[in-house]
Chains A and B, each alone.
Chain A
Amino acid sequence: GAGVSQSPSNKVTEKGKDVELRCDPISGHTALYWYRQSLGQGLEFLIYFQGNSAPDKSGLPSDRFSAERTGGSVSTLTIQRTQQEDSAVYLCASSRGTDTQYFGPGTRLTVL
């Protein structure tokens, strides 16, 4: 079956611009996660959605980062006023509850 998909696969933007990254989880998965992977920092948790519960935003690095999940399915991660240090691969994962997380291929963000 279809896995987690993310779009775009690559995004190049200028410093100060806003970007939106999209994640389509596996159908039927109630949990959705965003992680960021950068050189020197490894893979860091950003935000977690579980069903209709309030999201766990404890990993968001600043208030420029936000995410929403519409209809319990698709999620969008928004970064406002991008900075060069935001350059990284943004990974989305989904799971049934707290079971195995399945990752998408990621969006490679480059901020010039």
Chain B
Amino acid sequence: SYDLTQPPSLSVSPGQAASITCSGDKLGDKYASWYQQKPGQSPVLVIYQDSKRPSGIPERFSGSISGDTATLVISGTQAMDEADYYCQTWDNGVIFGGGTKLTVL
């Protein structure tokens, strides 16, 4: 089965950049998406097709992919960005990474 690996947690100070990675075999040959989920809420799509932002998502969210690793970068992280972040791709179905808990402190 196909797996996506994310770091379980990441802490950043307000105003710093947060970089969350997602690794999977030949992930660069697929499309990666990223979702933000705050406690008690449904996930929200923040990046699709590796690097595109849906309308309404702030410009500080960006995505990239290189080789086997997709990266979500939040520039100028704000307190409101504190959430769990999940990467997602397709391989014989929908695959989610294990999630990264981003703490802004």
A binds B: no
Residues of A within 8 A of B (CB): none
Residues of B within 8 A of A (CB): none
